[in-house]
Chain A
Amino acid sequence: MTTPPPEASDDADTRLDQLVGLVVALASGNLGARMEPSPANDRIDAVTVGLTMLAEELQVLTEDMELRVAERTRQVADAHRQLERLALYDQLTGLANRTLLTARLDRAVARAERRGGPPAVLVLDLDGFKVVNDSFGHGVGDLLLIEVADRLRGIVRDIDTVARLGGDEFAVVISHATLDQVVEVATRIQQALARPVQAGAQQCWVGTSIGIRLAEPNLSAETLLRDADTAMYVAKGRGRGGIEFFESAMHATALRRVRVAEELRAAIADGQLQMRYQPIVELSGGRIAGVEALVRWQHPVRGLLTPDQFISVAEDTGLVVPLDAWVLDTAIAQAAKWRSTVLGTSDFGMHVNISPLELRSPAFADDVLERLGRSGAVAGDLMLEVTETQLMGEDAQTARALEKLRAAGVGVAIDDFGSGYSSMGYMRRQFVDVIKIDRSLIAELDSDPQQHRVAAAILGLVDAFGLTAVAEGVETPAQAARLHALGCRFGQGFLWGRPVRARTMTDLLRRSIDAPGGRVQRPVRPGTGRSSTMPGSSAGGRGP
């Protein structure tokens, strides 16, 4: 081994010192530290070069790792934001959902004492949304909801919350609100939603009913929302476009309705429903030309209940579907039975009331025809009664269903004509056969000249459109006589009897048919089962 000259030894020491410095720099995280090898190209340089190459690789790996970590962090944050949106916001409108609204409402109640008063919650439900959805499809319905959401956002302050609770139900939380502010917001919401909405190619009109609950200490968001919802249903029940503040009595009513719904569900299954039939009578001669089927509920505690005591609950809870099914089946089966045992070939109409929910069901017409086929009843013996209000906002679906039924021979009557808008337009509709004139127009007929003139005008119009009129709520012989004199052919009311059981009605029908002139036989048009020369009409007209 040779000893290096002193200057070479100094140089080596210097480079070793530099190498130590490089190691320290790298160890402290400075991965960009480098050291150039010397021209000596010796073992110190070998270590220097090796260390430099290791540092280069480490630096690249670290930078790559940092980039990946940053990218992953961003992805995780994005996913978190997306999850939060899914969990807390309504996907269609971008509004808060029930979960977020509940959380904010709870927070607003908790902060109320410290910051300027309790919040208020408004629950609103769109009036007429279902008609839009059924008529124009869900696409248009969705656009409508988005526009409604935008309008609601535009009304409230930044500190308030607008949420979509589901379907066409929205809620607004107004932070530390005064009574005046709440009323103002509710009024502005109604004004904003009263303007027509352009949803795609369709222009739609909806309104809203609003229920309001002012928060009180220690009440949970769930309770406040439930109460506002209850108030909203009260508002809705009092007519479209109402605003109601929650009162504790409402809660008791709501509870009662829930109980009625539960009992009705059991009643339908347990056979507590009964049918009554009220005669519809030909004014000249008194022949029973048809009956109206009226459902009753034999309640185990409350006794016999009439529809006004349970129909609205049935409609709100969807129980109206099995209820209507029972009514249709029972009435159609009874019509078939009477046709084969009592009626012979006599003209007859079994009038059955149809709920709006049923009428808009896509399968409604086929369902009715299937029930007729199953029971062996004649289609021409069935007359479906729909109210004026049901036909308001009438959609293509309803028109198609009624057309299909009429083509098969089933008749259509407008019920309670004169109690609502009484548009002449309904008479002109191709799918109407009979107009039932509301009892409110009959009541004062024999004492009020004005009423007399109105009834005369309506009967004139009914006749002009080639339709048949049935006067409802006839109670006195004088009313019947006047109606007859005005050209009305049929009447219904206590004058001829209250609704009775099938057995009693069978006897009445038998007596009516056996009476002189009672067996009114008409040739039946092939294929339709409809009489061709019915009272008050030319071709296509029909009995009551």
Chain B
Amino acid sequence: MEDAERERAVTLRVEHGGYVRCDWRRGTRITGELARAAIKRLDELADGRKRPLLVDMRGTASLTREGRQAFAEECSASRIALLGESAVDRVIANFTLSVIVMAMPTRYFTSEPAALAWLIGDDAPA
């Protein structure tokens, strides 16, 4: 997979509030390679710190087993909020959270404000 293709599939940036936002392009099939590239980029952005991570997975087509394994690894995320909307998103998120043991607190949301509140707001876990 070309770098450009990888970059088109996912974008990451540090948002106001210190969390990292990760947007998956709609229709993306998240493979192990793409997952590892995203984590690498996250580590670069986090600059040695642990940061909350909002993953916008709305409209992704699927997540391969290799991709699921990659997300289970320790990374620069202190906790992860998965943001989805469709039945596909719900299946992917819940399946992943039930079959792999995540290295950090991770939850699935269908509302962005609720996700951010859990991630960085007053509701955020200590």
List residues of A whose CB falls within 8 A of some B CB. 36-37, 39, 41-43, 45-47, 49-50, 52-54, 56-57, 60
Contacts and interface: CB of A to CB of B under 8 A. Distances in A.
A67 B60 CA distance: 34
B62 A37 contact: yes
Contacts of B68: 53
26 contacts: A36-B61, A37-B61, A37-B62, A39-B27, A39-B61, A41-B27, A41-B88, A42-B86, A42-B87, A45-B86, A45-B88, A46-B87, A46-B88, A46-B91, A47-B91, A49-B62, A49-B88, A50-B91, A50-B95, A52-B62, A53-B91, A53-B92, A53-B95, A54-B95, A56-B64, A60-B65
A56 B27 CA distance: 20
Indicate the member of A36, A49, A57 with the most B CB atoms within 10 Å: A49
A54 B68 CA distance: 12
B9 interface: no
Contacts, number: 50
B63 A53 contact: yes
A57 B96 CA distance: 11
A49 B86 contact: no
B63 to A, nearest CB: 7
Contacts of A49: 61-63, 88, 91-92
Contacts of A57: 65, 99
Indicate the member of B68, B88, B91, B95 with the most A CB atoms within 10 Å: B88
A52 B92 CA distance: 10
B94 to A, nearest CB: 9
Contact of A43 (B63, B87, B99): B87
Contact of A41 (B64, B65, B86, B95): B86
Interface residues of B, number: 17
B59 to A, nearest CB: 6
B25 interface: no
A39 B62 CA distance: 11
Enumerate the 3 nearest inter-chain pairs by beta-carbon distance, A residue then B residue, closest first.
A46-B87, A56-B65, A50-B91
B41 interface: no
Contacts of A41: 26-27, 59, 61, 86, 88
Nearest to A52: B62
Nearest to B27: A39
B61 to A, nearest CB: 5
B21 interface: no
Interface string B73-102: 000000000000011101110010001000
Contacts of A53: 62-63, 65, 68, 91-92, 95, 99
Contacts of B63: 49, 53
A46 B62 CA distance: 9
A57 B63 CA distance: 12
Nearest to A43: B87
A229 B99 CA distance: 70
A180 to B, nearest CB: 74
Interface string B15-35: 000000000001100000000
A46 B61 contact: no
Contacts of A50: 91, 95
A459 to B, nearest CB: 100
A110 to B, nearest CB: 60
